[in-house]
Amino acid sequence: MSGSNRFQFELRPAGAADLVSINAIYNHYVLHCTCTYQTQPSTASQREEWFGQHGPEYPVMVAEQGGEVIGWASLSRFHPREAYRRTVEDSVYVRHDVQRLGVGHALLADLLRQAEALGYHTVLGGISADREASLALHAKLGFEKVAHLREVGFKFGRWLDVVWMQRMLRPGSGGLEGAGSGS
């Protein structure tokens, strides 16, 4: 059980049955927020394809309260080239009506533990510069600002900056040794 005494929820790995809820949470932000630069809602088949690109090495977690998914988070491949295989990118989305109750913090902290256990070297977060709560959440969990890209996104009739934040993990934590080597 995670959360404060007044707001309890559980974290667990996401399954295919969670994709409708994951998509609903995400699509709310596509339509109403700059926390994603996607401009058209994801379809069910696009979300299924996305989920298929994840698995044990790229976990997707959900926060659940009373049988309802109230947030989700994932680790995704940062770049397809082999030399980047120990670098992942995080995504964290909390249902708009339960923000600032510790759900995002719990999800991101869990992803960091998993990333370390899987042997990743670093986790990156690309965050719209106007999303102060997301920037603060990442900073609170040890991420540092490493880049500020000016006017690289255009949404809701305005140019948007992206801040890249990075969290280095414990070196030598294992887990990915030999992954992708073909041996």
Q: What pLDDT is attached to residue 7?
A: 85
Q: Alpha-carbon distance 67 to 30, whole Å?
A: 24
Q: At what angle do helices 19-32 and 44-52 cross, to 10 degrees?
A: 110
The boundaries of the domain holding residue 141 are: 8-168
**Structural contact between residues 59 and 75, judged by C-beta atoms closer than 8 angstroms:** yes
Strand 158-168 relative to strand 2-3, pairing: unpaired
Q: What pLDDT is attached to residue 6?
A: 72
Q: What is the DSSP letter of 33?
A: -
At 96, the amino acid letter reads H
Q: What pLDDT is attached to residue 170?
A: 80
In the chain, beta strands by DSSP E: 2-3, 8-13, 60-65, 68-77, 87-94, 122-128, 144-155, 158-168
Q: Alpha-carbon distance 50 to 102, whole Å?
A: 26
Is 12 part of a structural domain of the chain?
yes
User: Each residue of 47-70: b (16+ CB within 10 Å) or e?
Assistant: beebbeebeebbbbbbbbbeeebb
Is 37 part of a structural domain of the chain?
yes
Q: What pLDDT is attached to residue 171?
A: 55
Is 115 part of a structural domain of the chain?
yes
Query: CB-based contacts of 183: which residues, under 8 Å, 6+ apart?
Result: none
Q: What pLDDT is attached to residue 44?
A: 97
Q: What pLDDT is attached to residue 57?
A: 95
Is 179 part of a structural domain of the chain?
no
Q: What pLDDT is attached to residue 3?
A: 62
Q: What pLDDT is attached to residue 175?
A: 45
Q: Helix (H, G, I), strand (E, B), or coil: what is residue 82?
A: helix
Is 155 part of a structural domain of the chain?
yes
Q: How many CB atoms lie within 10 A of CB 80?
A: 7
Q: Which token pair is 144?
A: 């540092």
The tens place of each residue's pLDDT in the chain, 183 residues long, gives: 666 557 899 999 999 999 999 999 999 999 999 999 999 999 999 999 999 999 999 999 999 999 999 999 999 999 999 999 999 999 999 999 999 999 999 999 999 999 999 999 999 999 999 999 999 999 999 999 999 999 999 999 999 999 999 999 985 544 444 333 332
Domain count, the chain: 1
The CATH number of whichever domain residue 78 belongs to comes to 3.40.630.30
